[in-house]
Amino acid sequence: MKLTVNGTEHEVEVDPNMPLLWVLRDEIGLTGTKYGCGIAQCGACTVHVDGQAVRSCQVAIGDLNGDVTTIEGIGNPETLHAVQESWVEHQVAQCGYCQSGQIMQAASMLEFNPDPSDDVIDAVMSGNLCRCGTYPRIRAAVKTAAAKIREA
């Protein structure tokens, strides 16, 4: 099976029922995408498929129909994505384990709506669980990122 992740094509020999999450983590070795619940309840595994945020634990690799972008694909420590930049500025992370998913969710939202209302932010970001409770900073960082994206 072939898939394109962050612009690179990969070929994997796995059960077509294997979720994209586990192809990324254990087959390709991209571990920025996290396993948290396996049932689309925590959002830690959020990636983009053709730009749309999806829970990679719910996408069977055999059903994958589009190019995949992971947290490693939107920016890196040297060149941060606007959302990552805002996450650093606000020092959002505590344990940080959920933050790849939070950032991917926020980046996708802002791609479609660079000026989300507070209610939209609450609604869209509430699918991503943060056990450390960094929500106040997530709200603030999303707004900062939105402003950056609008100004860009």
Task: Using CB under 8 A, list all residues that contact other proteins.
Answer: 14-15, 18-19, 21-22, 25-27, 29, 31-39, 41-42, 44, 70-72, 75-77, 80, 84, 87-88, 91-100, 103, 121-123, 125-139
Cα-Cα-Cα-Cα dihedral sign, residues 75, 93, 59, 111: negative
68 close to 47: Cβ distance less than 8 angstroms: yes
| Residue at token pair 């989300």 | 116
Nearer to other proteins, 65 or 77 (CB): 77
For the CB of residue 152, give the shortest distance to other proteins in the complex, in Å. Answer: 18
Closer to other proteins at the Cβ: 27 or 111?
A: 27
Per DSSP, what are the bridge partners of residue 49? 52, 68
| Shortest Cβ 135–other proteins spacing (Å) | 4
- Minimum CB distance to other proteins smaller for 4 or for 37: 37
- Between 72 and 111, name the residue whose CB sits nearer to other proteins: 72
Beta strand pairing status for 68-69 and 52-55?
Answer: unpaired
Question: Where does residue 27 rank: exposed (0-12), middle (13-18), buried (19+ CB within 10 A)?
Answer: middle
